[in-house]
Structure 1
């Protein structure tokens, strides 16, 4: 019968509890390559007959593996291995590949002789050696430190009061790591959009935090689905990008933000508000932290404003979180990024970031105009675009054609939280701001369009 099965556990016999042992066998065989992505597993009844165990034991193991993102099921077809259940989907630039047209990473900001580069050079000329050589872990109590945060939050129109605390970390990803390790425990549950920031998915995976995915509609996370979920299980947090959510470009209107704030107060969960593109938002709707100040940790960063390699983020939160976040910060960062923060501090103090934002906004508009002309549909004013792949195209051929054309974009499975689930529809995220020259961008998009449309 073994010859008739598509897979059997590599380590037998199973040990009690049997469902846990079978689940572990699935995980191990995925990690060691014996169960490759998209591999179909035996039906639950077939495997139960072969292993001489109860049908529900196999069902329990499969369901656990699906919840953990290792497997996915298709109605009427069966159960398959997820392509990103174990694989690392951390977003990285394709710098080491020769002649790659990289439309994957949001590589915004500094280029040679650009406004950003010249502004950074100006700031660095005013940084003293004493600033760089000091070793301090009590900068949080520095009044000037808080004034810089206050000045920046004032620019973003995010109210900051005496009952709130701030942290400066080495970039947004570092800030998210501080939040997750400080306020959450292994096996806590955080709700995210079905398609969300890949590096957040990987960070949660590293810290053994469970992600539950909820579909978005045109106004962002479906809060009706969230409210139903809150009545059935314990939710510890919700992670959202309220403006131009990465990768779908959905934005929350005021009423949706108010509804999420209300739910956080009613059900006592923490909102992680990643407002990474608020500097581009001319409307400046109230931040969620302004609507639920006791339940929200707000994060804003500078790598998408000044330069990708300038890693600084500001966290704003209620004082009730201060002890846990400072402890987490000290363990992960020890102190704020001295040189990077000194540069950002100078730019904020001398109002030099505003011209960078203005220039970036104009550049994005030029790139969006090129995109709209080529793809012929309404596209948001965003540094990236989310495009549906023609359903008639086979996804494997799309990947091969992209590789042949040496075009790097990110495919929708990479953004699917909780592991990959089968979809009839696939999307690509195209980082149009990653190419500084509009003529070059136009050339790449003209090569890309027939591959995906």
Structure 2
């Protein structure tokens, strides 16, 4: 029997031992997965310590450890060293390795243009050994000029190892634990995970069809920073127009604006950077979605007064990014190949969006790699039912900036599967949503 009494003891999760299937570690993992997918355990919830849960259930600590590990590998949990275990903000925390059967409409795996990339890699490989040394820790002049062209900025640009890496450098270099960061109510889960690991407090800001509301942002102050994705935001797909960008930059005031611009290549024409309109900013752009997933190169521009702490952060975290990959990206941009790749991806995205319109109610927005699909019933139940029918999607709660943000939506990826599989998946999802609308599902 348990060593301690748990009567009237607060615990975020209290599984019933008698209901766990055998073997116990798999039964516990299944119960945890069920409660996460049903929404009973919300994203960001801190789970009981493993030793405490083992005592509560009167089972071995190793059983709890194995169960948590299974859920972590499935992308359902995240562990913060020294800070405990939390329900992950997205089911995509661990990339799919193909072991899970079914149709993947969850992962964002942008379309490849392998022939152009392959030719460029061969050309860059012939340039010489200078691409393998420690020179130019911020990127060579040529590589940084390519970054300035790609971002369309007159400000200084430095090379980082992808968008996620750039965001980690910016947040850890410019903010301290306890800092308040305003963000969309539904936003990029990896930003939320990073903010939690750095001890940052996220303030959710409501949005309309153009994204974050400037008046709501102003009223939410004071805050230290604003994180936003102004073009084809993940997961909502919302895009800020020019006037909204100006108003948002003004509403941010003296706060740091962190602009994640990874999906703006999908826009039909360039729009001004929110960050560059703000008083203090860092803008981050990656090549993984716009050019090739394996090209882990990003570009960072910033207000001049932020240069020193950001450069120190790059040295401390990266030393430097891969010069070979940076040169491949530069060659693609300077040769014009990057523009062709992006144009091809916009064309394919529009085609996939039109396919989705055949099966699902239309949604507004720029045709992108994913869509934010309203559900006629509880979105967590919709995700669970779709998964039972062999289709993986992600419900809105996985993107909520804080627990309690409401909204019934599914993020449906249009780029992870071949067209025939996409059509099969959308057919199944359409039927799931129709059954839920007619009250045929128990939610």
TM range (shorter): 0.7 to 0.9
Q: Distance in 1 between matches of 2:243 and 2:47?
A: 46
Q: CA deviation at 1:30?
A: 3.1
Q: Report the secondary structure of 1:430's partner residue.
A: strand
Aligned in 2, Cα 1:364/1:200: closer, same or farther, shift over 3 Å? same
Deviations 1:214-272 (Å, cap 9, x if unpaired)? 11111211221211122xxx3110011111111111111222211122223xx310111
Aligned in 2, Cα 1:7/1:193: closer, same or farther, shift over 3 Å? farther
* Residue number in structure 1 paired with 2:411: 429
* Residue number in structure 2 paired with 1:89: 89
Q: CA deviation at 1:301?
A: 1.0
* Residue number in structure 2 paired with 1:409: 393
Q: Distance in 2 between matches of 1:270 and 1:359?
A: 34
* Residue number in structure 2 paired with 1:371: 356
Determine which of 141, 144, 149 is the counterpart of 2:142: 144
Q: Distance in 2 between matches of 1:326 and 1:269?
A: 20
Contact (CA 8 Å) 2:332, 2:338: kept in 1 or not? yes
Aligned residues between the structures: 363
Q: Distance in 2 between matches of 1:85 and 1:451?
A: 32
User: Unpaired segments of 5 or more residues in structure 1?
Assistant: 11-26, 36-83, 111-115
User: Unpaired segments of 5 or more residues in structure 2?
Assistant: 1-5, 12-44, 54-83, 435-443
* Residue number in structure 2 paired with 1:441: 422
* Residue number in structure 1 paired with 2:23: none
TM-score by length of 1: 0.74
* Residue number in structure 1 paired with 2:303: 318
Aligned in 2, Cα 1:249/1:139: closer, same or farther, shift over 3 Å? closer
Contact (CA 8 Å) 1:247, 1:415: kept in 2 or not? yes
* Residue number in structure 2 paired with 1:122: 119
Q: Which structure would you say has the larger Rg?
A: 1
Aligned in 2, Cα 1:422/1:217: closer, same or farther, shift over 3 Å? closer
Q: Report the secondary structure of 1:276's partner residue.
A: coil
Aligned in 2, Cα 1:146/1:400: closer, same or farther, shift over 3 Å? closer
* Residue number in structure 1 paired with 2:225: 237
Contact (CA 8 Å) 2:275, 2:281: kept in 1 or not? yes
Q: Distance in 1 between matches of 2:416 and 2:210?
A: 26
Aligned in 2, Cα 1:422/1:416: closer, same or farther, shift over 3 Å? closer
Contact (CA 8 Å) 1:124, 1:343: kept in 2 or not? yes
Q: Report the secondary structure of 1:239's partner residue.
A: strand
Determine which of 250, 256, 264 is the counterpart of 1:270: 256
Contact (CA 8 Å) 2:49, 2:85: kept in 1 or not? no
Aligned in 2, Cα 1:28/1:340: closer, same or farther, shift over 3 Å? closer
* Residue number in structure 1 paired with 2:102: 100
* Residue number in structure 1 paired with 2:178: 187
TM-score by length of 2: 0.76
* Residue number in structure 2 paired with 1:225: 216
Q: Distance in 1 between matches of 2:98 and 2:46?
A: 31
Q: Distance in 1 between matches of 2:400 and 2:10?
A: 27
* Residue number in structure 2 paired with 1:451: 432
Determine which of 322, 337, 340 is the counterpart of 1:352: 337
Q: CA deviation at 1:203?
A: 0.6
